[in-house]
Homo-oligomer: A and B are copies of this chain.
Amino acid sequence: MAGNSFGHIFRITTFGESHGPALGVIVDGCPPNIALTESDIQFDLNRRKPGQSKVTTQRKEKDIVQILSGVFEGKTTGTPIALIIFNKDQRSSDYDAIKNLLRPGHADFTYLKKFGIRDYRGGGRASGRETAARVAAGAVAKKILDQYKINIVAYTLAIGGIYAEKMNYTSIENNLVRTPDMNAAKRMEEKILEAQKKNDSVGGIVEAIVHGCPSGLGDPIFDKLDAKLAHAIMSIGAVKAIEFGSGFKAAAMLGSDHNDKFYLDGERVRTISNNAGGILGGIATGEDIVFRVAIKPTSSIAQPQQTLTTDGKEATIKVLGRHDPCLCPRIVPVVEAMTAITLADALLSQKTMLSDR
């Protein structure tokens, strides 16, 4: 059924295929009177766009966004905001040779089983290109969060086993892999280029931190903030795992170590540690929300792989075309966007719980 909307109150609905005429999103439920221009949105789109460096795909898309509705004289009006990005640099012929082959790691097989038909050009709807619409919508969500001084930062924590260690968050955008450790950046970059040279790809970990989230956000028991974030983030292609705060480490801990003790910081109730990752009982505590996301290595690789044709015959495939040897650098703004969308929804939701009488 209809699975292309996300959010209840701040709700996005996206459309578009990798090689169709355009991609886009309708953002519904955005409050009125928020200043919004195309350049607000373009900023994040540029961070996600292809062809931005030697460690990303060389497909050239400027990903210029246009606002089609919902904004009047520079301000949101409360009506649906439609954002569109026209595709410019499709090279569908790249896909002719493999249109009857099942690419390993891709959704070719499952789309065929689900729908009985599939747009094979560039992966169609299953392309990572759909995330452009998410990033555009996320930029709108961030405008809401700005009003509350909620700030999201995401970055590459690890690539192919190499971890950022000495964190300097101001340097994230100063290296090609978007990591806060300039030394690790160098080694991560080499790791990527090395994989690429072997017609291979490599995975990584993206970490996100939300500063300034007001306590109280999240809607138990099913729309807990961590549950919604997990939903949002896991819906991004190539994500294999998510952990909050202590994450998998919690499994080997004792309660006496894991419990974050409360203390008073001025007038504010805080916790000494943050194993909770900023969320208790599915509701934000006010501490930083922290989570990590595992990104699998890109499935499109140019080396020969065993596979089947769509009608079940044995075959070998090389996925040529232009692909990212590592998804992390470009997935960072997508993780931010989905986080922003989830928080905007939770923020507006919380307004319905507050007494104004």
Contact = CB atoms under 8 A, between A and B. Distances in A.
A340 to B, nearest CB: 15
A352 B77 CA distance: 13
Contact of A80 (B14, B253, B261, B352): B14
B262 A307 contact: yes
A8 to B, nearest CB: 6
A96 interface: no
Contacts of A141: none
A277 B22 CA distance: 32
Contact of A256 (B29, B69, B200): B200
Interface residues of A, number: 159
A281 to B, nearest CB: 2
Interface string A213-243: 0011111111110111111111101001111
Interface string A275-305: 1110111111110000000111111110101
Contacts of A161: 251-252
Interface string A255-280: 11111111110010101100111011
Contacts of A113: 215-216, 283, 286
Interface string A326-353: 0000000000000000000000111111
A10 B21 contact: no
Contact of A263 (B244, B308, B352): B308
A11 B249 CA distance: 33
Contacts of A84: 68, 84
Given A77-B119, A251-B204, A255-B301, A31 B353 contact: yes
Interface string A87-122: 000000000000000101111011101111111000
B31 A26 contact: no
A308 B234 CA distance: 36
Contacts of A14: 26, 80, 221
Contacts of A303: 256
Interface centre among A15, A21, A226, A246 (most CB of B within 10 A): A15
A7 B31 CA distance: 20
Nearest to A75: B117
B195 A254 contact: yes
A185 interface: no
Contacts of A257: 297
A138 interface: no
B22 A82 contact: yes
Given A2-B11, A220-B126, A255-B200, A250 B261 contact: no
A42 interface: no
Contacts of A280: 105-107, 109-110
Given A230-B242, A261-B305, A349-B352, 16 more contacts: A1-B349, A2-B9, A5-B5, A13-B13, A20-B69, A33-B115, A77-B115, A105-B255, A110-B216, A113-B283, A158-B252, A204-B251, A240-B244, A251-B294, A255-B298, A255-B299
20 contacts: A1-B29, A2-B8, A3-B28, A3-B220, A15-B68, A15-B69, A16-B68, A16-B80, A20-B68, A22-B68, A24-B68, A78-B114, A80-B125, A107-B282, A230-B233, A240-B243, A240-B245, A241-B241, A257-B297, A275-B296
